[in-house]
Amino acid sequence: MAEEEEEEESELSDEQKVEIAKWFLLNSPPGEIQYVAKDVKSILNNDDLYKEAASEVFLFYNKSHLNSLPMSNRSGDVLVTSFGELEGNAFLEPRTAQVAIVDHVKQVCTEVRPATDEELPSPYIEEFRCNLDAEILKYVEETYPKGFCSVYCVSGKDVEGPGADFELAVVISAARHSPQNFCNGSWCSVWNIEFKDGKQTVEVKGKMQVGAHYFEEGNVQLDAKHECKDVTLFQAPEDCALAITSIIRHHETEYLAFLEASYLNLPDSTFKDFRRKLPVTRTLFPWHNTLQFSLTRDITKELGIGK
């Protein structure tokens, strides 16, 4: 009876199982959530519990990793980001003025429709957005072989002309998935661009995140984040686009160079810091006179060394 009571107490509730499943799914490395989901589903062995966990997690995971999905009409890709999120699992693709319906669990685009006038910015804002999008697209194509980008209007999309503030957001997402070589990686950067008409300045705030996972005969993960900010003058749309893109290029190049330099110094700095300066005895090991240790004396005696 006592053993049966212990088994009942140790049995996890459905709510606990769902929470554990959500944790594993949320912490999936870049590009690996489908592999994790397959294992989680097998372990749960309950379709209802799996669907409950997956329905909550995949939406958040796709948005946080800025996943890009091919649109079903083959007109391009849509970025899954909160900046373009509409109702009913719909996401705006501003470059083509389309709205994509996304199945988050399957990570596919199921339907595409034209964006309505209410979902798009005014012609005045669109001129700034379109010019910036064109310059960012050139930069991403040069810098990230498998990169995607988009520019969204975050606030002030109904502004019809000079005299009011508005904000754009630049989203850049790049990934390289190579599970056959036991490695996956991703780059995500979000740049909030605040156009201050009164001050005649443009404030740029950026957040960059790099994720990588190496799992050949081990499990090593990288999750690096960096934030920065800059400012430039409020100019004509074409000039603003060039200045903002130059700022983004500078800060991202600088951060990538910093990461590269850090990894080159790993053997001489970080890895050495992992080791103890001294053993727990607080004394250096006497390599010049190891016979003082009983184990060494015993081995020497057994092997007949020194006779």
Q: Are residues 204 and 232 in the same domain?
A: yes
Q: Are residues 125 and 235 in the same domain?
A: yes
Instruction: Provide the domain limits for residue 60.
Output: 13-65
Average pLDDT over residues 78-99: 95
Model confidence pLDDT, tens digit, residues 19-47:
999 999 999 998 899 999 999 999 999 99
Calculate the average pLDDT of the chain: 88
Model confidence pLDDT, tens digit, residues 221-266:
888 999 999 999 999 999 999 999 999 999 999 999 998 888 777 6
Average pLDDT over residues 123-134: 97
Question: Is a pLDDT exceeding 80 seen at residue 105?
Answer: yes
Q: Are residues 43 and 180 in the same domain?
A: no
Q: Are residues 151 and 217 in the same domain?
A: yes
Q: Are residues 137 and 241 in the same domain?
A: yes
pLDDT at 71: 94
Q: What is the CATH classification number for the domain harbouring 30? A: 3.30.1140.60
Q: Are residues 248 and 136 in the same domain?
A: yes
Q: Are residues 131 and 207 in the same domain?
A: yes
Compare 181 and 158 and report the one with higher pLDDT: 158
In a domain, 40, yes or no: yes
The total number of structural domains in the chain stands at 3
Compare 120 and 278 and report the one with higher pLDDT: 120
CA distance 266 to 269: 5
In a domain, 7, yes or no: no
In a domain, 283, yes or no: no
Q: Are 132 and 240 in contact (CB under 8 A)?
A: yes
Q: What is the CATH classification number for the domain harbouring 135? A: 3.90.1150.210
Q: Which residue is it, tokens 């669109």?
A: 126
pLDDT at 280: 64
Q: Are residues 144 and 249 in the same domain?
A: yes
Question: Is a pLDDT exceeding 90 seen at residue 6?
Answer: no
Q: Are residues 33 and 57 in the same domain?
A: yes
